[in-house]
Amino acid sequence: MFSRVMLALDLSELTSRMLDVLYSVCLDPETEVYLLHVVRKAEDAAETSSYYKKTYSRLKGLAQDIRNAGYDNVKVLWETDEDILNGIRKAADQYNVNLMIMASHGKGVWASTFRGSSTFNAVRAIEIPTLIVKGDYKCDDYLNRILLPTDFSRKSLIALNYIRNLREHVGEVLFVHVIEGVRGDEELTESKEMAEDMLVELCNEMQNFGINSRYVIADGGAASKEICKLAEEENCSLIISGRTGAGPIKGLLMGSTAQNILLNASRTLWVMPDEDSED
């Protein structure tokens, strides 16, 4: 399904988990794998520098590890750009990749390097499906239990196309709908009944594709907090989220659910673009 995948590497302690995510999601050995490292300083890019020699050697070692795992088409990319995110975006465009894998260290992607850039900003800069490896959570199969939050909008269900294509490898899908801002028990009951009808329909659709699924309806808390809490309680291996259309400041002021999940979830996230991928 994903023919060209790029790993934007800062060579941190999360690198091995990024490889685990690659192996879980990109199952075709013909997948083209690009290992990208972007440096800011021209002196670090020089082949004679100690930084280049040490870092490029490690990148080549990772490339060999991926080849040993069965992927023949692996290429190391070394880019120089004062704006790391811009370097990543340009490389993604140049090689026409259709999946990005990145790492997040608590307060943002490559926090020690980016100086103030957040995970949310990084995802907004790359308009393709993007996997964000986060936190201390580690597993062998990141498709084992997928948490899919939905408000039943088209944007929140874009991921269904990807899940259906991966159906032979998906263990279970957990649909989550969070009810917020209801006024009184009668409205809450009505909202739950409406949500349950649509969630049952989604589960039936998954069943038609041979995918195990179930649903949870939550109420009483902010959607992002409920989603992050359920991901841990249900031991989900992956959370799927859409991208919010708001900018980082506006989105923060609006209390964007998508942004808050990106910043606060402890599990690996799969952030979907606003439009379906052509692939």
Region 87-98: what's the mean pLDDT?
93
CA distance 9 to 88: 10
- Cα angle 138, 63, 128; round to 5: 65
Q: How far is Cα 238 from Cα 129, in angstroms, rounded to an integer? A: 14
Nearest to 114 by CA among 38, 172, 175, 62: 38
Judge whether 34 and 5 are in contact, CB under 8 Å: yes
- Closest C-alpha among 277, 266, 263 to residue 120: 263
Structure tokens belonging to residue 279: 């692939």
Residues 66-83: tens digit of each pLDDT: 999 999 999 999 999 988
Contact 124, 41 (CB under 8 A): no
* Its pTM surpasses 0.85: yes
- Cβ–Cβ < 8 Å for 80, 38: yes
- In the numeric block, the tokens 């939550």 are attached to 218
The pLDDT score that the predictor gives to residue 152 is 87
pLDDT tens digit string along 142-193?
999 999 999 888 888 888 989 999 999 999 999 999 887 777 788 788 889 9
Identify whether the C-beta of residue 100 lies closer than 8 Å to the C-beta of residue 126: yes
pLDDT at residue 207 in the model: 96
Distances (CA, A) of 61 to 48, 57, 135, 238: 19, 6, 24, 27
pLDDT of residue 120: 61
Taking only the tens place, the pLDDT of each residue in 206-216 is: 999 999 999 99
Cα dist. 233→2, 44, 179, 245 in Å?
A: 30, 44, 18, 29
Q: Which tokens hold the place of 10? A: 């800062």
Write the single-letter amino acid at 209.
F
Mean pLDDT estimate for the chain: 84
**Torsion sign across C-alpha atoms 260, 263, 268, 269:** positive
Q: How far is it, in rounded angstroms, from Cα 197 to Cα 189?
A: 13
CA 140 to CA 17: how far, in whole Å? Answer: 9
